[in-house]
Structures are given as C-alpha cells and as structure tokens.
C-alpha cells in the first residue's frame, strides 16, 4: 500500500514540475484567472448592482469566455456604466491572453522543430533502431526501408547527419549514455542494429541495451574476432564479423563473378534478392520443389530457388528437391525480381 502511494505522489510531483516549466501552463492559468475575475466582476456590476435577474454567476463566466475570445455573440451585453468598463477591460485582457497563447504555441513548435533537426528530440516508439554513423549504417537503413516498409525505423548517431534519410527519425548523442538511448526509444525497440567504428563502445552500448531491453534482438558489427566474443558475451543476438568483407575482396580477385553475384543478391535494389522464409504449420510436409513452386505467390518475384535449409542449428546447403520441410524450418532463397 505504502509503495503505491509513494509512486503516486512521485508521479503527481513530476506532473507539477512539468507544468511549472511549461509556458503554456502559465498562459492557461492566466486565462482561467481572467475568466473567473472578469466573470465575477460582470456578475457584481450587472447582476447584483444592476439588478438584472438574467445575469447569474455561471452566465457571467460564459460571458467572460465569449468576450475574451472576441467572439461577441451579443446574447449577453452590459447595461450599466460599470459593466461597460468591465467589458472593455475584459476585451483588452482577452486579446493579450490569446496573443500570448499564439506566441507560446509558435515558440513550442519552433523549439520542437529545432530539436528534431539537431537530433535533440525524443523518439516515441521504434520497431528497429540503428546505432552508429558508419557507412554500413546508412546502407543498413536503406535496406531496412526496402525490406520493412511498414516498420518504424529510428537512427541514433553521434552527430546530426548532413542529409537525413526520408521517413527515418534520428537522435544525436553518445550511444553509451543511458539517457540518450532512452531518447532513441531503445528500451521499446524490437530490433537494434549496432554498427559502431569503436568495438569497445559497441560492447558498452550492447551492455546498456541489455540493461534497458532484454527482449530486443541485437545485431552487431564486429571489427575483430576478440570484439565478436565480447559482443556475444555482452548479450548480442547475432554478431557479423568484418572479416566477411575480406572474403569478398579475396573472391573479387580470383572469382569476380562470385563477388558480383553476392553484391546483387544481398540488396533488395537489384534484379535478385537473397531472402529467408520460415515454414508455417500448413506447409509442413511439402517438398522443396513444391515450396519453390508456391513461394513466388507468397514472397513475390518471378522465380524462387531454395539455396539452403536451416533446421535448428543445422545448415543444409542445396537440399534435394524431394526433401520435405518441417514447421519452423528456415529456407534461404534466391528470389528473382526481374
């Protein structure tokens, strides 16, 4: 009982602090005070001193709101000299209050826009968060947008980008700082991609991520084998070593066709795409040949060829056409787009 009361008091205190810091709350307070004061003065001058039976206290408050807004319906008008003076004063105060309101709102919108352009804002929620300013990060963002068009993608990087990608909100700051990660909604992200140039900072970032979000799928880029081990121990779901690029460079020297093929199928921008498909319950028992015949309608493309089958931790390359799939199997396929 006591902890819940303490938590409630903390929330109320936090709300009061936010209201205290907000200029909009001050304007609202001035507006309410003006309505109450001017409404009571109008009731006093017209209803009490003027002897008008149609002027009640609630009707006077209604008159104050309408008069301050300069709407002027004309259904309630002053008939005494003092009531007229109160009306003039109410109109002047109303113009001043609404002018303050417009200026405060304009300032809030400008501040929000400036914060967003400088990466100082806060992301409400993201499905996928990319952390880092490497060129690989930009490429990862492009591929994620192509393959996950409906996903909300966020980007956390040290400095604001010169040309931010479209439909991607970003936050600038140190990814090892917990407050910065919270601004980037890392605690709510379903998937996180870490592609930092500094391996030690990447390890620290993954540790902070795991502290904030234990359920997120974290994919990291490692510059060295030692960093790969540390990132896996820190809690990364999958670590991609940079030595893969070395293999691609080697292939380009003596088998350039392989390098060209890999460059083509590892991006959704080309004429073919390397995809993964998870076998559903209703597809269990189908053969590889049957899956290849039905997959184009499900994943799109002109044709789909199964290159490998992953069952649990086992990777089966070039499975036979009559091999039967099971529920939960993952098929690595080459999809011909054009």
> What is the average pLDDT across 143-154?
88
Among the listed ranges 91-100, 191-200, 242-251, which one has the minimum average pLDDT value?
242-251
CB contact set of 334 (below 8 Å; sequence gap of 6+)? 265, 272, 273, 274, 275, 304, 305, 307
Q: Where are the domains positioned within the chain?
A: 2-117, 128-244, 271-336
**pLDDT tens, position by position, 291-327:** 999 999 999 888 999 999 999 989 999 999 999 999 9
The pLDDT value recorded for residue 19 is 46
pLDDT of residue 21: 53
Question: CB under 8 Å to 329, separation ≥6 — which residues?
Answer: 278, 279, 309, 310, 311
How far apart (Å, rounded) are the C-alpha atoms in residues 183 and 202?
A: 18
* 3-class DSSP assignment, residue 275: strand
What are 181-225's pLDDT values in tens digits? 998 999 999 999 999 988 999 999 999 999 999 999 999 999 888
Rounded Cα–Cα distance for residues 120 and 1 (Å): 38
pLDDT of residue 104: 80
Per the confidence metrics, is the pTM higher than 0.75? Answer: no
Residue 302 three-state SS = coil
Q: What is the pLDDT of residue 204?
A: 94
Q: Does domain 2-117 have CATH number 3.40.50.720?
A: no
Report the pLDDT value the prediction gives residue 293, as an integer from 0 to 100: 94
**pLDDT level of residue 22 (50, 70, 90 thresholds):** low
DSSP per-residue letters across 91-136: HHHHHHHHHHHHHHHHHHHHHHHHHHHHT-S--S--SEEEE--SHH
At residue 25, the pLDDT reads 80
By CB neighbour count within 10 A (0-12 exposed, 13-18 middle, 19+ buried), where does 153 fall? buried
- Say yes or no to pLDDT of 9 above 80: no
**CATH architecture assigned to 128-244:** 3-Layer(aba) Sandwich (3.40)
| C-beta separation of 234 from 210 below 8 A | yes
| pLDDT classification of 127: cutoffs 50, 70, 90 | very high
Question: Contact 332/306 with Cβ under 8 angstroms?
Answer: yes
Distance of CA 302 to the CA centre of its chain: 34
Residue 132: count of CB within 10 angstroms of its CB: 25
Task: Specify the pLDDT at position 193.
Answer: 94
Residues in CB range of 242: below 8 A, 6 or more apart: 221, 222, 223, 224
Q: pLDDT tens digits for 37-69?
A: 999 999 999 888 888 888 899 999 999 999 888
CATH of domain 271-336: 3.30.70.1450
Token pair listed for 301: 């493309």
| Proportion of the chain above pLDDT 70, given as a percent | 91
Distance of alpha carbon 220 from alpha carbon 238, whole angstroms: 6
pLDDT at 112 over 80: no
User: Is beta strand 330-336 parallel, antiparallel or unpaired with respect to 191-194?
Assistant: unpaired
Specify the pLDDT at position 292: 94
Q: Report the mean per-residue pLDDT for the chain.
A: 86
Which two structure tokens, joined as six digits, stand for 3? 């902890």
* The pLDDT of residue 32 is above 70: yes
Residue range 61-83: mean pLDDT, rounded: 87
């Amino acid at each position: 009982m006591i902890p819940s009361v303490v938590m409630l008091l903390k929330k109320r205190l936090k709300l009061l602090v936010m209201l205290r810091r907000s200029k909009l709350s001050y304007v609202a307070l001035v507006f309410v005070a003006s309505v109450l004061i001017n409404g009571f003065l109008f009731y006093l001058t017209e209803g009490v001193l003027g002897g008008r039976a149609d002027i009640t206290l609630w009707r006077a408050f209604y008159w104050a709101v309408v008069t301050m807004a300069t709407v002027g319906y004309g259904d309630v008008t002053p008939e005494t000299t003092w009531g007229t003076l109160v009306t003039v004063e109410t109109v002047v105060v109303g113009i001043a209050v609404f002018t303050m309101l417009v200026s405060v709102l304009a300032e809030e919108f400008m501040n929000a826009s400036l914060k967003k352009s400088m990466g100082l804002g806060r992301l409400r929620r993201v499905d996928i968060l990319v952390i880092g300013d490497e060129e690989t990060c930009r490429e990862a963002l492009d591929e994620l947008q192509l393959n996950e068009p409906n996903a909300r993608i966020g980007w956390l990087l040290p400095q604001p980008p010169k040309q931010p990608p479209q439909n991607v909100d970003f936050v600038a700051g140190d990814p090892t700082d917990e407050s910065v990660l919270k601004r980037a909604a890392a605690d709510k992200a379903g998937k996180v991609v870490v592609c930092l140039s500094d391996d030690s900072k990447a390890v620290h970032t993954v540790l902070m991520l795991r502290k904030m979000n234990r359920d997120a799928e974290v994919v990291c880029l490692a510059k060295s084998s030692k960093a790969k081990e540390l990132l896996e121990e820190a809690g990364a779901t999958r670590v991609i070593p940079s030595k893969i690029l070395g293999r691609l460079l080697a292939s380009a020297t003596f088998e350039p066709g392989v390098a060209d093929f890999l460059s083509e199928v590892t991006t959704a921008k080309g004429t073919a795409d390397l995809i993964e498909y998870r076998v559903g319950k209703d597809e269990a028992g189908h053969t590889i040949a049957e899956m290849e015949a039905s997959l184009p309608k499900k994943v799109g493309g002109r044709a789909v060829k199964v290159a490998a089958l992953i069952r649990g931790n086992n990777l089966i390359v070039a499975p036979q056409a009559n091999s039967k799939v099971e529920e939960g199997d993952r098929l690595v396929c080459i999809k011909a787009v054009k």
